[in-house]
Amino acid sequence: MAISTLFHEAPLDVLREHPEVLLELLAIGGVQLDLASPQTVTVLESTTIEVVPAHRHADFVAELRDEAGGPVRAIVVLEVQRRRDPDKPRAWIQMAASVLGRHAARVVLVVLAFDEATARWARRPHDEGALLLRPVVLGPRDLPHLASVQAAREHLLLAVLVALARSAEAAARGRLSLSPEAEADVLYAAEAVTELADTQLRQRLASLIEGAAPAEIRGRILELLEERGMRSLEIIREEGRAEGEARGRAQGRAEGEARTLLKLLRLRGFAVDEASAARILATTDLATLDRWVERALSARSVDEVLAD
């Protein structure tokens, strides 16, 4: 997966699969909601939010209710922002207005930024004529440092998001290494993830942390994975290429990428039917296969990976 795509999609993937971590992000952002405790968080289809131009949708939308299942009390629209974009505030206002038009609920716009320059830009008042927008912004300085592996265990999904954000911050600044505190965050999160009993979730989250980490500490993460009997994405990819090349150089690379994709999909826990598997193995265009492999880490279904 292209690293810029990973930085954008990986946090969203964690939120979609485990939306309850949104409550921790809201608490970090100082958002106080008039909700009885505990709350339930349900992910909504972001494409239902109409934004002009039509291809622009919210990155993540969720509704919050009391556990008793009462009326919707809040709708949270979360955007992952990797750089300043002068067109985005207008789109955010349109998203919020669309939600207000559909739900009699409070709307909270949260922006997750990976570097402080982008966070500062997102925090400032955005004046769009009659409307003034002030989103809740979570930048690198807002996310807590993990004090220990135990802290990462107790807040595992938040720890994964913190680890991804630290790696993304370094990339945004063009740095090849992390500060000691940020490095500790990544390693604490990686160690906590490798202790999970759920094999598929463990491999999935570890792969996200490994794939995003700067090269300087990736070796230490790989050592940790090997100690726990886990494989890195690069090893999975190499195994697929080796299997393909063993069948002949002419089609080796394409077949290798196809087998890599099948392994990644199965690691995600997807049931790959015979028709999809046959389509993947019959594809010889490397650009198409590379695009499918990039989608495999963040897609929510096999159909989404193979969509035209």
Instruction: Based on the fold, state whether residues 123 and 7 are members of the same structural domain.
Output: yes
Instruction: Based on the fold, state whether residues 128 and 35 are members of the same structural domain.
Output: yes
Rg of the Cα atoms in the chain: 20
Task: Tell me the DSSP string of 272-303.
Answer: --HHHHHHHHH---HHHHHHHHHHHTT-SSHH
Last residue of a domain, one of 78, 109, 138: 138
Instruction: Based on the fold, state whether residues 184 and 93 are members of the same structural domain.
Output: no
- Report the domain count for the chain: 3
Six-digit token pair at 229? 């009997």
Instruction: Based on the fold, state whether residues 119 and 175 are members of the same structural domain.
Output: no
The whole model's pTM is what?
0.71
Instruction: Based on the fold, state whether residues 16 and 78 are members of the same structural domain.
Output: yes
Instruction: Based on the fold, state whether residues 177 and 131 are members of the same structural domain.
Output: no
Instruction: Based on the fold, state whether residues 105 and 176 are members of the same structural domain.
Output: no
Instruction: Based on the fold, state whether residues 18 and 129 are members of the same structural domain.
Output: yes
Burial class (CB in 10 A: 0-12, 13-18, 19+), 115: buried
Has residue 144 been placed in a domain? no
Asked if pLDDT for residue 275 goes beyond 50, the answer is yes
Has residue 206 been placed in a domain? yes
Which residue range is the domain that position 192 belongs to? 149-227
Instruction: Based on the fold, state whether residues 164 and 249 are members of the same structural domain.
Output: no
Asked if pLDDT for residue 57 goes beyond 70, the answer is yes
Last residue of a domain, one of 117, 138, 159: 138
Instruction: Based on the fold, state whether residues 209 and 269 are members of the same structural domain.
Output: no
Segment 199-217, tens digit of pLDDT: 778 878 888 888 888 888 8
**What whole-number distance in Å separates Cα of residue 141 and Cα of residue 210?**
22
> What's the CA angle centered on 283, arms 277 and 286, to 5 degrees?
125
Has residue 76 been placed in a domain? yes
Has residue 299 been placed in a domain? yes
Segment 213-255, tens digit of pLDDT: 888 888 888 888 777 776 555 555 555 555 555 555 545 678 8
pLDDT of 75: 85
Last residue of a domain, one of 102, 119, 138: 138
Percent of the chain at pLDDT exceeding 90: 17
Has residue 143 been placed in a domain? no
| Greater pLDDT, 33 or 55 | 33
Segment 98-148, tens digit of pLDDT: 877 777 778 888 999 988 889 999 988 877 776 777 889 999 889 999 999
Instruction: Based on the fold, state whether residues 169 and 194 are members of the same structural domain.
Output: yes
Instruction: Based on the fold, state whether residues 126 and 196 are members of the same structural domain.
Output: no
Tokens 């999809």: give the residue.
276
